[in-house]
Structure 1
Amino acid sequence: MMNWIKQQLRIFPVWMGLVILGLFVVSELVVLNRPGSLAERAFQRMDTMVYDWRFHLLTPQRPKGPPIVIVDIDEASLKSEGRWPWPRARIGDLVSALHAQGVALIGFDVVFSEPEINPATRLLESGRLTPGAASELKSLEDTLDGDKAFAAVMKDRTVVGYFLHNEGIHSGVLPAPFFPVDGKEGDRLTVVRMKDYTGMLPLFASSASGAGFISTLPDADGIMRRSPLVLRYENGLYSSLALEMARQYTKSPFIRMQTISTGGQLRIESLSVGKSVVYTDESGLALIPYKGKGFSYPYVSAAKVLHASAPMPELKGAIVLVGTSALGLTDLRTTPLETGYPGVEVHANLLDAILQSTAGANYSFYRPDWEPGMTFTLLLTVGLVFVLILPRLEPGYMLVVSAGWLAVLTLVNLAFWKSAHYDLPLSILVMSTLVIAIFNISYGFMRANTQKREMKTLFGQYVPPAHVEQILMDSQMVNMEGESRHMTVLFSDIRSFTTISEGLKANRLKQMLNDFFTPITRVIFDNNGTIDKYVGDMVMAFWNAPLFDENHAEHAVDAAMAMQRMADELIPQFAARNLPEIHIGIGVNTGFMNVGDMGSEYRRTYTVIGDSVNLGSRLEGLTKFYGVKVLVGEGTYDLTPMYLYRLVDKIVVKGKREPVCVYEPVCRLEDASESRINRVKAYNTALDHYYSREWDEAEQVLRELHKGDPDRVLYKMYLERIPQLRNAVLPEDWMGVFEHHSK
């Protein structure tokens, strides 16, 4: 059951990642198939924020094209010519002055929907004039008609504006649509429809060389990011001021519209005038390619044009847009770049981009036809990769991978924006990546914290506190799955523990063991050891796991010697409490062992197993046989040349066939006195004679050593063996190996 739960926990991030990805995939399908849905509005709102950020970061740059100049009805013009609206005749004077400067085309970001009152007509209608005066004034009525004066000059290269809207008002007249649509076919078009209009005076409609709507459609937040190039009213499509001026400037007879039929709808792809091609969305709206903040185009005050007495080079051959930047006239807009942006420059930017955009060089921003498929494919494929890859990484690597992918997404998006003028969506890809990454990183940290708690629980009582901190800092340092590693193991056992336990009550025995194990454990910890287990009076420890320790054999022998000193120090303390003396035997062995988290689903422990471990246990049991406090195996001996050793014996332990040499560590070489070194050398010389069957020489040295240290068991043991071996018939391959038949 526990294994099943652990398995489910391991795959939990994958299932949750698939659920998260599925939600985003469904959201994207809703966005694609249900315009205006909550999901579509939410992601569109986020994409508009990205759109604004890109404008600030990489403002569009266009090569120098046809000169576009703003003739500005500014504060200076109002001061010079009086408040707005000006008399139509004066506006006609402005048009005449512009024509005199040699402009190529004039466009009015102004609507002339109401007739101007003719003073002569008003006086005539008052009935207060004498017949003679009325007759004379009647002859001047046409001369004083400002509308006729203005209409007379707008026939030459002048485009005027009008409004299409949904305000419930009809006034003036509209020009003929550039593209009539019948009811059935028109219903398939996705162009934005308007129900009402504020048009021009019929006189202006018949006199102007062209007309275009100046209606704008800000986004839901009031920011001008896109503007319609075509709008529908009843059964006709109408062109914007910028599109109509582009048509007039290029002398194109008509506007071409490229559509695509999908899902029973006719969606606009692009609009063309002459060689210019501008891409729009399916509704005929174009993203406004602002070339900078307000006043990015040359501005000339209308008053300066009216009173010019010399040619103005900036107007020669220019396309002129007549608009206003005066605060009181409220033709100011909020754009991605700034608030208070002159509305006339919206038309200037669109006109500029249309004239410079061709099939080979596009300067308008748009979303290509392949964008939905690409976005969906990226969302699905990259999402699946993240769902499968992130749970396998550590939280730090998750963060790096996720941040790297977000950086790639952003840089590629900016590159397409800069080079190809593609307005590619970013929000759903970024959000899906962030949500999947945040979930996996959060889960990873939770999992890491759980692992740290488990490791702290697992190792807290068995390894030094410094080791626990290292393990918690980097859990990769520990392989819980199990591995073969070159290690050193130590076994310690209390001599005659059965007799001791029989003479003590249970609570005093428990207290004695606690008081004994506490300083012994501290010694092991101080020498970088790991406590494996306590079994009755036995302590098992090992080195070089869970953390690597290059000097594991040395640290183990240091611990064994320190444990013996600690046991000696405890004797008087225990005696003062009427507790028996405690003497311990220690076995140490080095070799390859299997280490890891082992056990059952009910209980597990971090431990070591293997032949080298078993030999260490056998060595501890043999310490009493040889009368030594510490025995070490060959592997430990080979790695600790800093110690002075006695060769104890060549043995074969029970259950094994291969002989091993076992040694008694005497002390560190730097701590050894000359007399001790000489005694050990003499003893080792005696064993050399012994293994060479030089019995007399061996016996002579051993007797001398026995006189100086009559209690040492080793001397007695070999003095007893020599007579037996001297009289025995030994095989030719005799190597002095002693076989133990008990554990």
Structure 2
Amino acid sequence: MQQILEQANLPEAAQQQLREQQSLFDQDAIFANSLAGNTVLGYFFHNDGQSSGQLPFPFYQLDAEQLHNQLLKMHNYSSNIPLLANHALEQGFVVTQADIDGVIRRLPLVIEHQGDTYASFSLVMAQLALGEPWLKLKLVDNGAQFVATEIDIGTAVTVPVAADASMLVPFRGGARSYPTLSATRIMRSDLSTAEQAAVQGAIILIGTSAMGLSDLRTIVLQTNYPGVEAHANVIDALLQAAMGESVFYYEPDWAPAASLLLLLVTGMVLAVILPGRSPLWMLLYSVLGLSWVVGLNFYLWQAHHLALPLALQLLLVLGLSLFNLALGFFASNRHRREVQELFGAYVPPAYVERLLEDPKAASMEGEQRKMTVLFADIMGFTTLSEALTTAELKQLLNRYLTKVTEVIFAHQGTIDKYVGDMVMAFWNAPLDDPQHAQNAVLAALAMQQQTALLSQEFIESGLPALEIGIGLNTGPMNVGDMGSHYRRAYTVLGDAVNLGSRIESITRYYSAQILVSDATQEQCPDIIFLPVDRIQVKGKTEPVEVFEPLCSRQDANEQLLHKVATFTQALQAYRQQDFNAASQLLQQLLNNAAQQPDNHSALYQLYLERCTDFIQNPPAADWQAVFIHTNK
């Protein structure tokens, strides 16, 4: 003002006269002077990063221990300018805090700011209306942190609050439950005689209710509820409590424990009485459960003014009821699925669906077919079982058998049996499979990969590594539902089955994980094989050539093909009794294996030793390059 007067270059008398009239132009001063001694101003706490205005004095300062509490904490504020704050009787914050669903159910009565506690607008209004000189916040250490339990408004009333010093609002009803007057009419002095009488000696809250002024809230009773009326409900409740009325509804600090106990009791009762009942009885017990949960909650609300969570109780009853109804539905269809369950123990799920659609597609009667059989066994299982506890061994076997069964099913195989760690499976029954040999070999390769992954998991879990031996053979076999009157099984029998078992048993000798007979190899043109040996197994007089499948032809690289060609050439030289040439080729393969890992080094070394022996002691004239295995 002084700067403006100097710039105007007015006479001193005129400037003095304007200074005397300055207060007439200061709108803030005019408004501050209009505030009577019974006016309480509102202000806001927030976390927007900036503060403005003048805060009132806190009613309580927390000590160092009490700083670890559950009070609502705000770092910034927007308060009234000092001129207005100094002319008002008091100030109180008007912060509302919605629940997670956006509904206003409670109002904070206390907020912590920089270690000080400040009272809400409603709390300050009630204190002044009751003429009480002080407020007291009670904080209790629950072992983890301090929680609020109650607020004393002088000696007039004790307000029970939640741990964060908030209060459930006992809403009287929807909007305009309290007398409402237009601010415009008041400023125009356009009130009736009755309205003028009503405002005399009343607590008047000035707030907004227009849509565009952003003070409309959602409460449990309605949306677009004026925020100022929420404070009116709280003030009304505090004043009624001072007159002896029981109006407070609160959620005690032990509410979570009580809710958990109710959940356990209700859940255990329903878990006992619902299973095995008919749908009608399940429905009846469910209705009784819902009635119990709602009735108990309503009783605690009405009789003791306790607000306990209800949603989880309702969800528990509904969830258990629907779960048991679903179980009953599935149990009623169990008989129809018995055939499916029986076949499911033997064949992949896709096979089961085909059998259900066309029961004549397969017969359980005995018949002879050309099939492929697979035997898989864990190498060194006896030593492995001695190193593990019973529980560890069971866990290892279950995980291993589950994986290999999944692989066999994925390749259209049929599980014959499990014998300890041994798995027996076959292809081309009960449904026809023209590619049975190739599917069986691909299954063996996939089992090899899965076992390697599973072995790595076992090692990381502190369990021993796994290695398996797999033998396959193709030939005529008898298949069907065989057994006694007491126990039957869908299985295969025959000389070709026994040969498959013998081939599996010699995998350890050749340090190979998979060996197949020449009958199987001939039917798999899309797979790369490494010739291993010409053998005669125990119990057989005819020699059989065995091969090791390496990969599908499309996955083979030049290095692998070169290795197979070199070893095949060495094997041919060996069988032609050119042991020196065979030795050179084998030594070349061993030298390559020293530079690049090769899991066939043991096989190369085996043949190199044989060549060395035959160079020193040549074989008989009728030697056919057949190695005779005397063990099963």
TM-score, normalised on structure 1?
0.43
Higher relative contact order (CA 8 A, sep 6+): 1
- TM-score, with structure 2 as normaliser: 0.50
Higher-Rg member (1/2): 1
